[in-house]
Amino acid sequence: DFVDMHHYGKIEPKAIPRPDDKRAASLGEFGGKGLFVRGHMWPVRNDAYEMMLNREVLTDTYVLMLTELEQMINYFGLSTAIYTQTTDVEHEINGLVTYDRKVEKMDLEKVKYINQEVIKCTRKKEVTFQSKVLCKWKIRDSAMSPVFRELSFKNICIPYFR
């Protein structure tokens, strides 16, 4: 079981749940940073929790959020976090790529790097919390867009920190 919160602002201690004796801490949704890409949006009013000015600002904001997330994993017992979202979906334009999957809205090399760094931090032996794996699964390559195949979203492991 998880104690879960959704948060779309700054990743900081007061914005994340704390694990308890019986439940792991989950940030069930975070992110929500949007970018308008003309000609690649669903034909309705488009929105996000917070709009970014351009690709560079969106990428830098993602890197900052994941760096802050790493701190929450290492020092506050966060076990899992789910970014909202991998692709734009209809009116929600807070994805890594556009609705039609034709435009990468972030620098995906930077996204891959920071994703791998956060994954590595969960594997470190110095982590203050005792960890045990609750579940592990692998997403089939055929179920993934080529854009995501190389972004470290393929193998997912949820460590439970106690």
State pLDDT tens for residues 26-73. 999 999 999 999 999 999 999 999 999 999 999 999 999 999 999 999
State pLDDT tens for residues 112-161. 999 999 999 887 644 444 444 443 333 334 444 444 444 544 434 444 33
Question: How far is Cα 99 from Cα 104, in angstroms, rounded to an integer?
Answer: 10
Q: Which two tokens stand for residue 45?
A: 């009013």
| pLDDT of 134 | 41
Question: How far is Cα 150 from Cα 162, in angstroms, rounded to an integer?
Answer: 31
Q: How far is C-alpha 39 from the chain's CA centre?
A: 26
CA distances from 106 to 13, 116, 135 (A): 26, 16, 29
Angle among Cα 70, 76, 5 to the nearest 5 degrees reads 85
